[in-house]
A and B are shown apart, each in its own frame.
Chain A
Amino acid sequence: MSMLSLLSPHLPVLTVLLPAFTAMLLVLIGDSRERLVLTRRIALASVTLGLLLALKLALDANGGELRVYRVGDWPAPFGIVLVVDRLSALMLVLTQAVALPVLLYASGGWDSHGRHFHALIQFQLMGLCGAFVTGDLFNLFVFFEVLLIASYVLLVHGQGKERFRVGVQYVAINLAASALFLIGVALIYAVTGTLNMADLAQRVPLVTGDEALVLKAAALILLVVFGVKAAMLPLYLWLPATYAAASAPVAALFALMTKVGVYSIVRVHGVIFGADGGASALVAEPWLLPLALGTSALAVFGALAAQTLPRLVAYLTIASVGTILASLGLFSTAAWSAALYYMAHSTLVIAALFLLVELVASQRGDADSRLEAGAPVAQPVLLGLMLLLAAASAAGLPPLPGFIGKLMVLQASSGHDAQVWIWIVVLSVGFLTLVGLARAGSLLFWSTRPELAGTGTAAGASSKLVLATIALLVGGVAMTVLADPLKRYTDAAAAQLTDHRAYSLGVLGGEGVDTTRPYVFPRPAAGAPAGQGTEGGP
Chain B
Amino acid sequence: MNVSMEFLVASGIGWVTACGVFLMLRGRSFPVVLGLTLIGYAVNVFIFAMGRLWTGAQPIIGNGEVVADPLPQALVLTAIVIGFATTGFVIELALRSHHESGTDQVDGKEPGA
Contact = CB atoms under 8 A, between A and B. Distances in A.
Interface in A132-174: 138, 142, 145, 149, 152, 156, 159-162, 164-165, 167-169, 171-172
B47 A182 contact: yes
B61 A536 contact: yes
Given A152-B89, A172-B90, A179 B40 contact: yes
A165 B101 contact: yes
Contact of B108 (A161, A171, A186): A161
A169 B97 CA distance: 11
Contact of A175 (B47, B57, B86, B100): B86
Interface string B12-25: 00000000000010
Nearest to A516: B71
A156 B78 contact: no
A73 B108 CA distance: 51
B89 A171 contact: yes
A182 B83 CA distance: 11
Contacts of B51: 189-190
Interface string B51-79: 11010010011000011111110010011
Q: In which size bucket is the chain B interface?
A: 35 or more
Interface string B25-65: 00001001100100110010011001110100100110000
Given A168-B106, A172-B36, A186 B50 contact: yes
Given A171-B93, A176-B24, A518-B60, A535 B100 contact: no
Residue among B36, B100, B107 having the largest count of chain A Cβ atoms under 10 Å? B100
B67 A169 contact: no
Contact of B71 (A152, A167, A189, A520): A189
Contacts of B72: 186, 189
B75 A176 contact: no
A516 B72 CA distance: 12
A168 B82 contact: no
Nearest to B29: A168
A183 interface: yes
Interface in A513-527: 516-520
B78 A168 contact: no
Contacts of A165: 97, 100-101, 106-108
B50 A189 contact: yes
A334 interface: no
A179 B35 CA distance: 12
A152 B71 CA distance: 29
Contacts of A149: 85-86, 89
Interface string A175-189: 110110011011101
B68 A168 contact: no
Contacts of B43: 179, 182-183, 186
Contacts of B71: 189, 516
Contacts of B101: 161, 164-165
Interface in A174-214: 175-176, 178-179, 182-183, 185-187, 189-190
B46 A152 contact: no
B18 to A, nearest CB: 14
A183 B89 contact: no
Given A161-B108, A179-B40, A186-B47, A519 B90 contact: no
Contact of B67 (A168, A182, A518): A518
Contacts of A172: 24, 29, 32-33, 36, 90
Contacts of B67: 518-519, 535
A333 B107 CA distance: 44
B68 A519 contact: yes
B110 to A, nearest CB: 13
Contact of A145 (B24, B75, B86, B108): B86
A473 B77 CA distance: 44
B106 A169 contact: yes
B89 A168 contact: no
A162 B96 CA distance: 12
Nearest to B39: A179
Contacts of B36: 172, 175-176, 179
Contacts of B79: 182
Contacts of A179: 36, 39-40, 43
Contacts of A162: 108
Contacts of A517: 69
A145 B61 CA distance: 32
A342 to B, nearest CB: 33
A518 B62 CA distance: 11
A186 B75 contact: yes
Contacts of A536: 61
B66 A519 contact: yes
B5 to A, nearest CB: 13
A145 B86 CA distance: 9
A535 B62 CA distance: 11
B70 A518 contact: yes
Contact of A168 (B24, B39, B93): B93
- CB-CB nearest 4 A-B residue pairs: A164-B97, A190-B50, A186-B50, A165-B108
Given A149-B85, A168-B106, 12 more contacts: A138-B78, A145-B86, A149-B89, A152-B93, A165-B101, A172-B24, A172-B32, A172-B90, A175-B86, A175-B90, A517-B69, A518-B67
Interface of B: 24, 29, 32-33, 36, 39-40, 43, 46-47, 50-52, 54, 57, 60-61, 66-72, 75, 78-79, 82, 85-86, 89-90, 93-94, 96-97, 100-101, 106-108
24 contacts: A138-B75, A149-B85, A152-B93, A159-B100, A160-B100, A165-B107, A165-B108, A168-B32, A168-B93, A168-B106, A171-B86, A172-B32, A175-B40, A175-B90, A176-B24, A179-B40, A185-B47, A186-B46, A186-B75, A189-B71, A516-B71, A518-B67, A518-B68, A537-B61
